[in-house]
């Protein structure tokens, strides 16, 4: 991500000597996955958004699911902890936790589908 952002910033504003940094106002959390962009502190450069997670490849249209969220839900089936426990654990460590509704939706959609393939 940063290599392409540095290159694009240099092409858009060749004389700018500003520093590139995370654009915290436009970051998006999707479960445990994040989408981030970069901005320049001197000029008006703003990069496009980048997924900081692997996407699950499928043929359905629309936004692709984050692989980290599927792994999390599969892992939760192997321990005696649900999404509510996971949220408490993450929030205790000051890690932004995914929403309960989002976890439930993801669990329903992907874990049940994965179990059907395995068993
Ligand atoms: Zn700049």
The structural domain count of the chain equals: 2
* Assigned domain for 105 exists: yes
Same domain for 43 and 82: no
Burial 77-88 (b: 16+ CB within 10 A, else e): eeeeeebeebbe
* Measured CA angle at 93 (ends 82, 33), to 5 deg: 70
* Assigned domain for 27 exists: yes
Q: How far is the CA of 43 from the centre of ligand 1 (A)?
A: 4
Q: How far is the CA of 11 from the centre of ligand 1 (A)?
A: 10
User: pLDDT digits over 23-58, tens only?
Assistant: 999 999 888 899 999 999 999 999 999 999 999 888
Q: How far is the CA of 29 from the centre of ligand 1 (A)?
A: 26
User: pLDDT digits over 58-69, tens only?
Assistant: 888 888 888 898
Domain around 35: 2-51
pTM of the model: 0.72
How far, in Å, CA of 98 to CA of 110, rounded? Answer: 16
Same domain for 77 and 44: no
* Assigned domain for 57 exists: no
Q: How far is the CA of 5 from the centre of ligand 1 (A)?
A: 11
Same domain for 76 and 44: no
């Amino acid at each position: 991500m940063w290599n392409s952002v540095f290159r694009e910033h240099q092409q858009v504003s060749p004389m700018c000597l500003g520093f590139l940094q995370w654009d915290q106002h436009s970051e998006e959390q999707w479960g445990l996955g994040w989408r981030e962009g970069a901005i320049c502190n001197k000029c008006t450069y703003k990069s496009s958004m980048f997924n900081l997670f692997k996407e699950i490849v499928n043929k359905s249209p629309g936004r692709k699911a984050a692989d980290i969220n599927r792994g999390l839900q599969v892992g939760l089936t192997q321990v005696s902890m649900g999404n509510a426990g996971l949220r408490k654990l993450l929030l205790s460590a000051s890690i932004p936790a995914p929403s309960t509704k989002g976890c439930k939706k993801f669990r329903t959609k992907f874990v049940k589908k994965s179990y059907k393939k395995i068993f």
